Structure 1
């Protein structure tokens, strides 16, 4: 839905939730059928937490939706070429390429798309006996955090090989991808007509590693380095680790701080570089910064696993905000841990 006025009581997700709830159960269910698992979860959470929405507020949301629809042209027929041109114009070729192909592939894929809705352990069970090249294609198609969890359930000895194959993927022939989709689809029923195939690549491998447990991530990177040092370095160069937050601009840091708890921040900063700590302090009020310094000193020694868990939690929020355009992540990370 279009963004409402800046002083709107609801976020975009909440306005969408209000709109869906006003449609009634059957119509809302039909809309949700066309969304991915993350969108459904986000909207479901918003619908579950909304309370005391007045008739006036509902009317305002409906008016915003009507206005947004009226501003759309009826001539946007949504052909593949139209989608490619619009997104390329908006995002540039580099950023739009993978996104365009995922959109077009997801629209027509049944077998691969079904995996997105499955628990990571279940996905691992489905693909664990497949050839590593098949597994790498499947993981490239999943969202990075989902793929990371699936990878963690696969045998450790095969994980580096799979990541190297993901990093080495440079697209896949549509016929081959369609065949894979049909094989998976036979397990879930339905049919498909795959038309595009941009999956994998070094960035895809780096994104998946970003969501792995730090200890497993380090092991995989070390094993890849033993086989191909150059590839290992390229993957690490594209990874974003906690200390890379120092390269986020001040406005982005302030936005991020509004989304995380003080408890998580204190734990995460226990293992952070001094430069990042100062960056955080600089983007808080003087009083809040002093309180945070006191909390850090009073916290005492903490387990490394707790620090890493808090950093992972904050990075997950940061990546979500980056995906929605609220902040911009940059820089490159290595395999050092604190």
Structure 2
């Protein structure tokens, strides 16, 4: 609560505009530049409850006629109402998304919180092209789970369309977003366009072994070229044996200690050696003994453990913490 505390320029403007009311406030917004609107609306959303004393102090600088102004409340809802009156709906939504920050992420992020069963049941009645646009906007792991729940022929049609989809027309994307927003009460947003083959490779990385084999075989029958391009982009657990040793060592330090033995239980001998090579002899011996003591394990559990480690590796690579390609390999000569 602001109570007789010094306020800066943007806060003063926000308090004054709240005191003037929504109609006058909207007219003022119309006369401002976008950066001014952004700065004042951000300050307005963070004001909280404003005491009458503070309102009087600010308004007296502008006019002595507002000395009896009652307590005002500046919050997300009041700010959004004012912006919607002054700006086009799309622009107001974009500014509010920036103000809300992580707690009000994009509509596509919110869609990722909808269970795959619910989303699959909704999408199975949509056109394959619409489903391709939607799955192209959500996280690969979630998209993989949704695809696995859709009829196989329908899933293959959707994946083929995802590979062929270039830039989605704004009107089409707007229509899809409006429908989803009404269905899932989500926020308007737009994500960055990604290469469709990279996107599909990420989705295949998140299938379990059985589904990956089934979908890849079906895709090979439809388009061998598409299948080969996806295979070349896929990063698998076995690929970790080719990353720089320093990067692998950093990855080992980040992995859940209970996950690694299970993941290595289903790994090749070469990959096990690569992981053990990052450890002291004593720690490596303990890990080897732990792997041996596991006994028979379900393939499903091994796949899940390996997928978790691959995901951690990708997140670390995205953050610039490790390299997923051994740069030394590019310097080798073929004689």
Same fold (TM over 0.5): yes
CA contact (8 A) 1:245 1:329 kept: yes
Q: Write the mapping of 1:1-338 to structure 2, written as runs, cut at 5 A.
A: 112=108, 114-188=110-184, 198=193, 201-330=196-325
What SS is found at the alignment partner of 1:141?
Answer: coil
Deviation at 1:189, TM superposition (A): 5.6
* Separation (CA, whole Å) in 2 of partners of 1:174 and 1:217: 32
Deviation at 1:174, TM superposition (A): 1.8
Deviation at 1:229, TM superposition (A): 0.7
CA-to-aligned-CA distance 1:109-168 (integer Å, 9 cap, x gap): 975454233222222233221111111110110011122222222223322222222222
CA-to-aligned-CA distance 1:93-120 (integer Å, 9 cap, x gap): xxxxxxxxxx9xx999975454233222
- Cα distance change on mapping 1:111 and 1:129 into 2, 3 Å: farther
Of residues 161-170 and 300-309 in structure 1, the stretch that sits farther from structure 2 once superposed is: 300-309
Q: What's the C-alpha RMSD, in Å, of the aligned pairs?
A: 3.1
CA-to-aligned-CA distance 1:293-331 (integer Å, 9 cap, x gap): 233334344332332232122223222323333223248
Deviation at 1:197, TM superposition (A): 6.9
Aligned to 1:21: none
CA contact (8 A) 2:208 2:300 kept: no
* Separation (CA, whole Å) in 2 of partners of 1:118 and 1:299: 35
Q: Which has the larger radius of gyration?
A: 2
* Separation (CA, whole Å) in 2 of partners of 1:191 and 1:263: 38
CA contact (8 A) 2:163 2:196 kept: yes
Unaligned runs of 5+ in 1: 1-26, 32-102, 332-338
Deviation at 1:238, TM superposition (A): 0.7
* Separation (CA, whole Å) in 2 of partners of 1:177 and 1:282: 49
CA contact (8 A) 1:181 1:192 kept: yes
- Cα distance change on mapping 1:118 and 1:302 into 2, 3 Å: closer
Aligned to 1:18: none
Deviation at 1:237, TM superposition (A): 0.9
- Cα distance change on mapping 1:176 and 1:243 into 2, 3 Å: same
* Separation (CA, whole Å) in 2 of partners of 1:141 and 1:167: 13
CA contact (8 A) 2:180 2:186 kept: no
Of residues 293-302 and 126-135 in structure 1, the stretch that sits farther from structure 2 once superposed is: 293-302
Moved over 6 A (4+): 106-110
Work out the number of aligned pairs and report it: 229
* Separation (CA, whole Å) in 2 of partners of 1:281 and 1:197: 39
Tell me the TM-score normalised to structure 2 length: 0.60
Q: Which has the higher contact order (CA 8 A, sep 6+)?
A: 1
- Cα distance change on mapping 1:199 and 1:171 into 2, 3 Å: farther
- Cα distance change on mapping 1:118 and 1:198 into 2, 3 Å: same
* Separation (CA, whole Å) in 2 of partners of 1:300 and 1:114: 40
